[in-house]
């Protein structure tokens, strides 16, 4: 009997579930680990879909980007590790290719362009990103004094620093989180106050409305826990924030881990919705919606709040009418410490990039219309589409804005209720299952196709089946959605709607079950560090002994809405199994150093760069062999600076070490040539 009991059963085939499974099997000494996923594919909220006919583009219906390593070390380290493994001949996984993902447009008086001079359309007026810094009179907001000419995001940063000058977007997220948890504003701890409530006391209401209308998101500036909102905002919404996207789609990260996991003997079973579970002091008995049962020594629920609620409130099986472990007062309070936030994405495809004629090509255009954010989608290298088939993320909206689209689509719920019932597996504990790999997300599942409308007489309709009538009604709703998306795009861009009609429109509403929202935010009054520690292993038996039930996912993390948060809580669960965080080899990414000049070339300055190591490491640099030019030196933080004093070519080696563990290092060889500069060269 014990041979059929899993060491660990994991519910949820998203990033935290598959990552946990892979690590437990390969580094945790567990012999039998199975992931059960209710949908017919893995990935969770990493949903990458390639539309037919546009093979060089991937629509990211879910997560789409990462921040730099100094801000999000866990996901960057994971990518480095996977790419390190991909170099092995028999790995069977693809190298993850990333590109710079442009988001914001130009700002300030210097005219520097991050992307293209994109459009902002709010309060019925169209203006450009550059107008914010150069032509504030074109902005339809009555900003006060110093609020003028500041880029989007800067007004919020200034307000945050008014609350406590110790906040700084240049500090690490951990430092800002520590500051936030220990800050009082007007005598009250920040965690007991709402972000909106505090902001409105330190900035004008017009400035707040400008940031919310033109910032693209409704929920980020809403009334959620201020102690969590502030460090979250500082990390993500700084005007100088940079992002990277994935050439093959973000879901490929999960696919790579799933391949490594199943190759090592793990098992992934899709179309398996958990109906309930029980614990008998030795083993969990899991029952699925199709009636099958599985036993496991430990259970990990890699799920967001809404999924946990659906599981806790029970189902049609009498013996699982409610879940005593998730519905008890203490655990229920932990689960309800966050609130799901609706999010909705619409993509549209075209014969050609009509927006190029308007001087926009990359990044996003912003509006207070229900579309909210429109991204001019890039090719697989982050490059603008110059001609031929093209795609927009026509809408990325959140909060109450998502409700606008309810009348244009079937409401969710039916798919979730039917999920996981139709199949019967012969052996849910079998190893080396590849069932998951045959079930990639289908583009057709999210598609709205432009159709020619035809008039159907009542007499003809009477001969149609109920299914056919439902199909015709759905096509009519589909047409209305396409019309409305096109109308808003035309209004924002100032063009004729008939000239920009899309080929296809497809969408994803993340407020549908089982997700309940695109992300979750901590509630006011919650001490998130305490909840994070408690919800990882929330339940005890009648003898007050913790049972091996674990919860992970970004919902209860410092990085809500990000893969970083999913990995953060997965590592906290893995710590319970004595599995350490992942690390990768260090790779020095600086490949060449510029020349120095003498005698009047000015100060020399270069920062050496590297990737890899352990997640939270800093690199310690040292010189080995050879010499730098006299007057120029290498500091332990990787900065080479000084003033050259002698001509010549100088060759030397450097070593970068993981300052946390001290055990991982990489070496590289460099040279600096010191040239002479004449007065005429300088003057010219």
Find the Cα–Cα–Cα–Cα dihedral 523, 526, 527, 531, rounded to 10°.
Answer: -90
Is the pLDDT score of 139 beyond 80? yes
Q: Which residue has the higher pLDDT, 471 or 407?
A: 407
Write the pLDDT tens digit of every residue in 51-97. Answer: 888 888 999 999 999 999 989 999 999 999 999 999 999 999 999 99
Q: Whole-angstrom Cα distance, residue 189 to residue 74?
A: 29
In this structure, the number of other CB atoms found within 10 A of the CB of residue 282 comes to 9
Q: What per-residue confidence (pLDDT) applies to 516?
A: 95
Q: Which residues contact 326 (CB under 8 A, 6 or more apart)?
A: 308, 311, 312, 332, 335
Mean of pLDDT values over 23-48: 93
In this structure, the number of other CB atoms found within 10 A of the CB of residue 472 comes to 13
Mean confidence (pLDDT) of the chain: 87
Give CA angle at 298 (561, 326), nearest 5°.
60
Taking CA atoms, 444 is separated from 378, 440, 449, 508, 560, in Å, by 21, 12, 9, 12, 29
Q: What per-residue confidence (pLDDT) applies to 454?
A: 34
Mean of pLDDT values over 234-249: 89
pLDDT category of residue 416 using cuts at 50, 70 and 90: low
Beta strands 267-269 and 665-676: pairing type? unpaired
What are the chain's domains? 2-49+248-339+521-576 (3.50.50.60), 451-501 (no CATH), 584-683 (2.60.40.10)
Q: What per-residue confidence (pLDDT) applies to 437?
A: 57
Q: What per-residue confidence (pLDDT) applies to 74?
A: 95
What tokens were used for 403? 């409700």
Q: Which residue has the higher pLDDT, 447 or 365?
A: 365
Is the pLDDT score of 448 beyond 80? no
pTM for this prediction: 0.88
Q: Which residue has the higher pLDDT, 484 or 418?
A: 484
Q: Whole-angstrom Cα distance, residue 273 to residue 289?
A: 6
Q: Whole-angstrom Cα distance, residue 46 to residue 319?
A: 34
Is the pLDDT score of 583 beyond 90? no
Taking CA atoms, 483 is separated from 6, 59, 120, 394, 489, in Å, by 52, 21, 21, 13, 10
Is the pLDDT score of 532 beyond 90? yes
Write the pLDDT tens digit of every residue in 295-305. Answer: 999 999 999 99
pLDDT category of residue 678 using cuts at 50, 70 and 90: low
DSSP conformation class of 540: B
Q: What per-residue confidence (pLDDT) applies to 461?
A: 42
């Amino acid at each position: 009997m014990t041979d059929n009991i899993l060491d660990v059963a994991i519910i949820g085939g998203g990033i935290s579930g598959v990552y946990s499974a892979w690590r437990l099997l390969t580094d945790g000494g567990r012999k039998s680990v199975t992931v059960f996923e209710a949908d017919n594919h893995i990935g969770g909220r990493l949903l990458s879909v390639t539309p037919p006919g546009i093979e060089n583009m991937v629509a990211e219906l879910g997560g789409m980007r990462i921040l730099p390593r100094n801000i999000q070390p866990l996901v960057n380290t994971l990518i480095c590790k996977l790419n390190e493994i991909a170099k092995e001949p028999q790995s069977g996984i693809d190298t993850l290719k990333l590109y710079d993902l442009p988001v914001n447009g130009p700002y300030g008086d210097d005219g520097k362009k991050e992307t293209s001079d994109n459009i902002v359309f709010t309060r019925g007026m169209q203006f450009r990103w550059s107008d914010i810094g150069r032509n504030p009179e074109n902005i339809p907001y009555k900003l006060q004094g110093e609020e003028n000419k500041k880029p989007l995001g800067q007004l919020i940063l200034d307000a945050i620093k008014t609350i406590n000058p110790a906040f700084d977007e240049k500090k690490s997220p951990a430092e800002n989180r520590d500051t936030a948890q220990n800050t009082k504003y007007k005598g009250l701890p920040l965690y007991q106050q709402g972000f909106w409530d505090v902001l409105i006391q330190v900035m004008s209401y017009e400035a707040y409305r400008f940031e919310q209308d033109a910032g693209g998101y409704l929920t980020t500036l809403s009334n959620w826990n201020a102690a969590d909102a502030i460090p979250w905002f500082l990390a993500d919404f700084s005007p100088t924030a940079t992002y990277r996207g994935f050439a093959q789609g973000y879901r490929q990260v999960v696919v790579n881990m799933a391949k490594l996991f199943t190759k090592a003997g793990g098992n992934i079973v899709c179309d398996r919705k958990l109906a309930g579970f029980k614990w008998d002091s030795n083993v969990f008995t899991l029952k699925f919606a199709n009636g099958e049962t599985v036993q496991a020594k430990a259970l990990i629920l890699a799920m967001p709040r809404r999924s946990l609620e659906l599981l806790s409130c029970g189902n049609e099986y009498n013996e699982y009418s409610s879940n005593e472990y998730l519905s008890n007062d203490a655990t229920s309070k932990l689960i309800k410490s966050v609130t799901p936030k609706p999010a909705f994405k619409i993509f549209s495809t075209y014969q050609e990039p009509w927006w190029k004629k308007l001087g926009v090509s990359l990044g996003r255009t912003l509006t207070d219309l229900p579309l909210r954010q429109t991204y001019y989608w890039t090719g697989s290298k982050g490059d603008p589409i110059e001609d031929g088939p093209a795609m927009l993320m026509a809408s990325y909206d959140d909060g109450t804005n998502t409700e606008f689209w309810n009348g244009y689509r079937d409401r969710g719920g039916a798919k979730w209720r039917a999920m996981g019932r139709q199949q019967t597996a012969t052996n849910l504990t079998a190893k080396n299952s590849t069932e998951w790999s045959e079930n990639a997300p289908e583009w057709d599942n999210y598609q709205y196709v432009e159709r020619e409308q035809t008039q159907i007489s009542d007499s003809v309709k009477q001969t149609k089946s109920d299914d056919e009538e439902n199909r015709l009604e759905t096509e009519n709703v589909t047409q209305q959605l396409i019309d409305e998306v096109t109308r808003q795009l035309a209004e924002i861009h100032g063009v004729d709607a008939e000239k920009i009609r899309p080929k296809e429109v497809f969408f994803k509403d993340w407020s549908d079950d089982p997700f309940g929202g695109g992300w979750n935010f901590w509630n006011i009054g919650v001490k998130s560090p305490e909840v994070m520690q408690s919800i990882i292993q929330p339940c005890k038996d009648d003898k007050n002994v913790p049972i091996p039930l674990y919860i992970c996912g970004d919902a209860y993390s410092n990085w809500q809405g990000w893969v970083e948060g999913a990995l953060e809580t997965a590592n906290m669960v893995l710590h319970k199994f004595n599995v350490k965080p992942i690390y990768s080899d260090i790779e020095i990414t600086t490949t060449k150093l510029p020349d120095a000049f003498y005698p009047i070339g000015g100060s020399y300055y270069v920062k050496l760069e590297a990737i890899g190591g352990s997640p939270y490491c800093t690199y310690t640099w040292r010189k080995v062999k050879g010499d730098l030019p006299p007057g120029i030196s290498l500091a332990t933080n990787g900065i080479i600076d000084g003033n050259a004093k002698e001509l010549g070519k100088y060759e030397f080696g450097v070593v970068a070490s993981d300052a946390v563990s001290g055990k991982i290092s990489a070496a590289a060889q460099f040279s600096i040539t010191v040239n002479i500069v004449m007065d005429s060269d300088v003057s010219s």
